[in-house]
Amino acid sequence: MTPQSIIADISIELEEKIRNGMNPKEAVKKYMYD
C-alpha cells in the first residue's frame, strides 16, 4: 500500500463519520486512537 492510498482511505472513513453527524475533531481523534 502506498502512503497516498492509506491517506485516501483515512479521508474516506473520516468523511463518512462526519456525514453521519460526528464532529470532525472527534472523528479525527477516534481515528488516531482506535
Position 34 scores a pLDDT of 60
Per DSSP, the chain holds a count of helices (H) and strands (E) of: 2, 0
Residues 25, 4: Cα–Cα separation, whole Å: 22
Position 20 scores a pLDDT of 92
Q: Which three cell numbers stand for residue 25?
A: 475533531
Residue labelled with grid coordinates 483515512: 10
Position 25 scores a pLDDT of 86
- Using left for φ > 0, alpha for ψ between -120 and 50, and beta otherwise, residue 24 falls in alpha
Domain layout of the chain by residue ranges: 3-33
Residues 31, 7: Cα–Cα separation, whole Å: 12
Position 12 scores a pLDDT of 92
Tens digit of pLDDT per residue, the chain (34 long)? 688 898 899 889 889 988 999 888 887 787 777 6
Position 30 scores a pLDDT of 75
